[in-house]
Structure 1
Amino acid sequence: MAAEFTAPPPEWGLELSGEQLEKLSLYAAGLREMSGRLNLVSPSDLAAIEVRHITDSLAGAALLRRLLPGGGTVLDAGSGAGFPGVPLAIALPGLDFTFCDSSLRRFQFLTWITARLGLRNARALHARLGQWKGPLYSAVVQRAMGQLENILPQCLNIMSPGGYFLAWQTTAQVAAYRPEVDAALIAAGGKKTEEARYSLPGEKEERHILVFVRKG
């Protein structure tokens, strides 16, 4: 039996049902079951996976729900082990998610975990962002993919005009925000609209979600 998942802090504005909490617990169990053979998460992170990865992913749920009140499609760019896409898909059943990764083994895990959790609003996709030929999305989310100036053009390119890009960032990453980011943003036809700040349970360090929009 999977360990019980603890709901995020109430100030995040995210209420989860018992079924959703159970799916988050099953997701954590699936990660622990498969991580060793597929190298999904570092061994040092496995013990704290619920807070460090799953709860951190959920920090953007209320924000994404506000940005897309009428529903929409969301691409998790470079989903890896499913962060932040899988927790967000569990928390936001009114949105349709695609978990995209260029690694075949990670794509296979994402396909497996999507089926295991019974996520009807999600699918896995094996593709590279730099060679994108698919549909445009209402929003793109990414967590720990690399330098923003390299990611922004690719992510904005697969968003519909008026679509949103949400980037999870640590305080150190925000402090290292460079002029190259603004240059890449302007060249790609986007602009930064807001920045959400939060802290994980048991931690004092402030974390950030930067929100960018593709101009129409």
Structure 2
Amino acid sequence: MDKLKIKADFTKYIEVFLQKNAKLNLISKNDEKLLFEKHIYDSLGIKLFFEKYNITAGDILDIGCGGGFPCVPIAIEFPEFNVTGLDSIRKKINAINEIKEELMLTNLTTICDRVENIKNKKFDVITSRAVADLSKICEYALPLLKAGGYFAAYKSRKAQEEIRNAIKVLAKNNAKIDEIITYTLPLDEVFERNLIIISKQP
């Protein structure tokens, strides 16, 4: 991914986010210095998945969206997707709603609730980043996934260990690991990230 082009595209978002963060502490002060490198760029790792699997539109659910990662960067970068950010903490959802209004993101909606209470809708793609271990999040995510849909879980270097622990819940939900997409964040030290791609069988 072109770091400089992406950063230019997200200048306004960075400005607005930092204003909100000063009041709400959505991410730590130390992380503010690396907002683009650690949070925005990481969120856009999903672009590698979209391109490889030729996914060009659909309904996306981001479980445990927190301060808006990855749902807000996805909504900015991919206006053709309908993105829903889900989190149970009201102040975080309120912050995302304010960012949404300032950036005029008409393709982004939010839900303030626990994931286990979401039962009325199925999604084409579900994401989660820094939420829970894979087996736990799969229990909640996979029932909300359309048949033929994908769950993209952002994970660290422990991805293989988490996959081993998730085998039973994957089988229970008729899902399988398609692959792990690995990418590196633009930091001074080597910082690998893994996007675990799980498909739900028709």
TM-score by length of 2: 0.91
Q: 2:3 aligns with which of 8, 15, 20?
A: 8
Task: Give the Å deviation of 1:96.
Answer: 1.0
User: Hey, what's the Cα distance between the residues in 2 that align with 1:125 and 1:141?
Assistant: 15
| Alpha-carbon contact 1:65-1:92 (below 8 Å) kept | no
Alpha-carbon displacement from aligned partner over 1:31-60 (angstroms, at most 9, x marks no partner): 221223322101110111111100111111
Of 47, 54, 59, the residue aligned with 2:45 is 59
Give the deviation of 1:132 after TM superposition. 1.2
Q: Once the 2 structures are TM-superposed, how far is the Cα of residue 70 of structure 1 from its aligned partner? A: 4.6
Following TM superposition, the consecutive aligned residue runs of length 4 or more in structure 1 with deviations greater than 4 angstroms are none
Secondary structure of the residue that 2:154 maps to in structure 1? strand
Q: Does the residue aligned with 2:176 lie in a helix, a strand or coil?
A: strand
* Distance change in 2, residues 1:210/1:178 (3 Å): closer
Match of 1:134 in 2: 120
Q: 1:178 to 1:165 in 2, by over 3 A?
A: closer
Equivalent of residue 63 in structure 2, options 60, 67, 77: 77
- Structure 1 position 87 matched with structure 2 position 54: no
**Of the candidates 27, 30, 55, which is equivalent to residue 44 of structure 1?**
30
Contact 1:61–1:92, Cα closer than 8 Å, also in 2: no
State the 1:181 CA deviation: 0.9
Q: What amino acid does structure 1 have at the position aligned with 2:48?
A: A
Q: Are the counterparts in 2 of residues 7 and 21 from structure 1 also a CA contact under 8 Å? A: no
Contact 2:134-2:163 within 8 A present in 1 as well: no
Aligned residues: 201
For residues 1-216 of structure 1, the aligned pairs below 5 Å read 7-8=2-3, 21-22=8-9, 24-67=10-53, 69-171=55-157, 173-177=158-162, 179-202=164-187, 203-216=189-202
Aligned alpha-carbon RMSD (Å) = 2.0
Q: Distance between the aligned counterparts of 1:96 and 1:67, measured in 2?
A: 18
Cα deviations by residue, 1:2-30 (Å, 9 ceiling, x for unpaired): xxxx9527xxxxx76xxx944x2222222
Moved more, 180-189 or 91-100: 180-189
C-alpha distance in 2, partners of 1:153/1:188? 8
What SS is found at the alignment partner of 1:201?
A: coil
State whether residues 169 and 210 of structure 1, in contact with CA within 8 Å, keep that contact through their aligned partners in structure 2: yes
Structure 1 residue 69, shift from structure 2 partner: 3.1
- Confirm or deny: 8 A CA contact 2:135 2:162 kept in the other structure: no
Query: Which structure is higher in RCO with an 8 Å CA cutoff and minimum separation 6?
Result: 2
Distance apart, 1:180 and its partner CA: 2.5
Q: Distance in 2 between matches of 1:8 and 1:89?
A: 18
Q: Please, which runs of 5 or more residues in structure 2 have no aligned partner? A: none
Q: Secondary structure at the match of 1:179?
A: helix
Q: Give identity over the alignment, percent.
A: 26
Give the match's secondary structure for 2:166.
helix
